[in-house]
Amino acid sequence: MSSYFWTGETSTISIQGKDAKTFLNNVSTNHILRLHPKEICLTCLCNKKGRVMSLFYCVCEDENMFYLVMDHALKEKTLNLLQSYIILEDVKIVDESSSPTGIDAVKEKISFTEKEELRIQMGVPKYGIDLTEENLPQEANLEDALNFQKGCYIGQEVIARLHNLGHVNKKLCVFQIEGNEIPPKDTKIFLDTSEVGWITSACLSEDQKIVALGYVKYQYLGENVLHTKRTTTPAATGLVRVIERKTSPR
């Protein structure tokens, strides 16, 4: 199971009906047909260009009932997308967020700040911050949400072609940054004088180190030390150490 999780409020949508399983399989990136009751998988809704429009856990209650658990900010968008995909399928889509039958997110007894630190250190992208409609799933290391053996779904051609023949232009990485100031979102990252990426999330860790998430252009993924300033002179402040990356194009 994927280690993807949320640091804020979640919402739940149910998909009910005799066509629920095939409907979800046809519109999302993972192999929903393989789910058995009480099993769960991470999956995406993508557009025709393979960009991520929504991301959620799909929970199989039984063959005709599925729960989709997602970041609360994605609820309305996901509801609208799913409704727009229905043609003649026998499915009913219900917002279960305030219902006792909905699936509640696990409420860990840790603060938002602690969860945010854990999220960044684990390289988990937050939709709207580290992951947007401009991103392909593979750019954000969401391979756990993809299945390359299933049939067609929206965006499948682009995602499969990238998997089989190419590589992404950038990858989400985890950084440790030297200095005392937490860099704001979209801070640029350099190798000497060349701009090679940017930061999407950053926070101060429990051991008083700055950790961050951000994208690095594919051709620079092998570099271990970068910088938040355009410079040819090594300096401690703003030094960016890449501490986790996934360089595989697939």
* Residue 103 shares a structural domain with residue 151: yes
Q: Is residue 5 included in any domain, yes or no?
A: no
* Residue 130 shares a structural domain with residue 180: no
Predicted confidence at residue 234, as pLDDT, reads: 56
- The dihedral through the CA atoms of 124, 130, 132, 137 has a sign that is negative
What CATH number has the domain bearing residue 209?
A: 2.40.30.110
Return the bridge partners of 195, or none: 190
Q: What's the pLDDT tens digit per position in 217-244?
A: 999 998 888 888 876 665 545 688 887 6
Predicted confidence at residue 241, as pLDDT, reads: 83
pLDDT bracket for residue 247 (50, 70, 90): very low
Predicted confidence at residue 1, as pLDDT, reads: 42
Q: Is residue 151 included in any domain, yes or no?
A: yes
Q: What is the percent of the chain with per-residue pLDDT over 70, rounded to a whole number?
A: 86
Distances 187 to 5, 15, 127 between C-alpha atoms, Å: 25, 40, 18
